[in-house]
Amino acid sequence: MAFTATMLGWGLVDFAEGQETAGQMDYGRATVKWATDYFLKAHTAHFEFYGQVGKGTLDHDYWGRPEDMTMERPAWDIDSKAPGSDLAAETAAALAAAAIVFQEVDPQYSSEMLGVAQELYEFADEKREMYSNSITDAAQYYKSWSGYGDELCWGALWLYRATRNDTYLMKAHEAWDEFDLGAGAEEFSWDDKKAGVYALFTLLEPDDEKYPAALKEFLRHIREDMPYTPGGLVFINKWGANRHAANVAFLSLWAAKQGMNVKTNRDFATSQINYILGDVGHSFVIGYGVDPPQKPHHRSSSCPWPPESCLGYQQNPGPNPHTLYGALVGGPDQDGNWVDDRLDYVHNEVACDYNAAFTGALAGMIETN
Ligand SMILES: *[C@@H]1O[C@H](CO)[C@@H](O)[C@H](O)[C@H]1NC(C)=O
């Protein structure tokens, strides 16, 4: 959720013109604020932050509307004794990015977020641990496989961008060296932010050639070394292949905007976004374009209107009764096959992080085309 908010914020900051042209700026700010209000509430004391509500297995076992849920919903926090650097630093990144989004329209909200972002960063940096070792129920679902080094660097860079306080730039350099972040990125995702670090360093340390070189090499690696589906989607991971393509499309458009390999980056991003929007004969975005998905693996939109029970609606052969407008579904397998099937969650799941960089990439497409 924090990565989602960071990426929405980034798209609003660096593709502001595209967002304005599309008339999405106010919606974008409201969406970011939905997340950041929650983060501010979840920060309940000094070095105390709630990172999970609900038990993974219990939530997964339930198919129905969120407002009908009656199962146990325990909440877990991180604190000095059971810390979580990846969680705290990514939330710091989200609040810092959002602070930039709100700097002019709501300076008070912006500075409130910055204050919490700085404390969360200090927490992440001083009490080092993987959050999934503290909130152990998260390990099965959202463990940061890449560790917390990338989040420490990325959080510091967002804080430096928002505050221009050199301490954070120094922290970013320290994390870069300590965690050897210059190599090994195979995706850009809620787990692994190394490629985002290359981009932010490119912007914030313009005299150092190694950062744009790392970004260029990452984008080349993705474009040239990864497999593609027959229809042209870069296939980074079978889980939400569309989302991975959209995430690298965002970075490619961002790089193009900085003047880096402009045509190559723009053409690649355009091919990926157009694939998602319908180049293979149908759209992967619910409620949009030609023959879009109608049976996403999404609980509440699959339920009928209350008071009718949602029981059995996971197996309903018909379309979801409600249209989850704008949600991006997982996508095809490596051979390009995709079936609109609610039970096939690998290819039909929707998720907040699936739509985050995708939204910014669409704004980037408006700007660069
Ligand atoms: C910069 O950030 C550090 C770490 O949070 C803080 O101790 C320091 O006071 C800040 N400096 C300024 C000028 O705000």
Residue 214 Cα to ligand 1 middle (Å)? 29
And the tokens for 322? 């409600």
Write out pLDDT tens, residues 225-282: 999 999 999 999 999 999 999 999 999 999 999 999 999 999 999 999 999 999 999 9
Residue 164 lies in a domain: yes
Is 57 exposed, middle or buried, given 0-12, 13-18 or 19+ CB atoms closer than 10 A?
Answer: exposed
Residue 165 Cα to ligand 1 middle (Å)? 6
- Average of per-residue pLDDT values in the chain: 97
Going by CA atoms, what residue is nearest to atom 5 of ligand 1? 118
- When pLDDT is averaged across residues 20-24 and rounded to a whole number, the result is 98
Same-domain pairing of 171 and 243: no
* Residue 165, ligand 1, Cβ within 6 A: yes
340 is catalytic: yes
Find out whether 320 and 348 touch, Cβ atoms under 8 Å.
no
Q: How far is CA 247 from CA 232, 285, 291, in A?
A: 16, 15, 24
Q: Which helix (H) or strand (E) holds 43?
A: strand 43-45
Domain edge (last residue) among 153, 181, 209: 181
Write out pLDDT tens, residues 45-75: 999 999 999 999 999 999 999 999 999 999 9
* Residue 44, ligand 1, Cβ within 6 A: no
Same-domain pairing of 12 and 112: yes
**Structural domain boundaries enclosing 356:** 223-369
And the tokens for 40? 């501010």
Same-domain pairing of 5 and 79: yes
119 is catalytic: no
Q: How are strands ordered across the β-sheet holding 43-45? A: 43-45, 48-53, 75-78
Write out pLDDT tens, residues 299-341: 999 999 999 999 999 999 999 999 999 999 999 999 999 999 9
Residue 333 Cα to ligand 1 middle (Å)? 48
| pLDDT attached to residue 362 | 98
Read off the pLDDT band of 368 (50, 70, 90): confident
Please identify, by atom number, the ligand 1 atom nearest to the C-alpha of residue 166.
1
Residue 162 clears pLDDT 80, i.e. is over it: yes
Residue 135 lies in a domain: yes
Residue 118 Cα to ligand 1 middle (Å)? 9
Residue 369 clears pLDDT 80, i.e. is over it: no
Same-domain pairing of 176 and 227: no
Residue type, position 262, single letter: V
- When pLDDT is averaged across residues 83-104 and rounded to a whole number, the result is 98
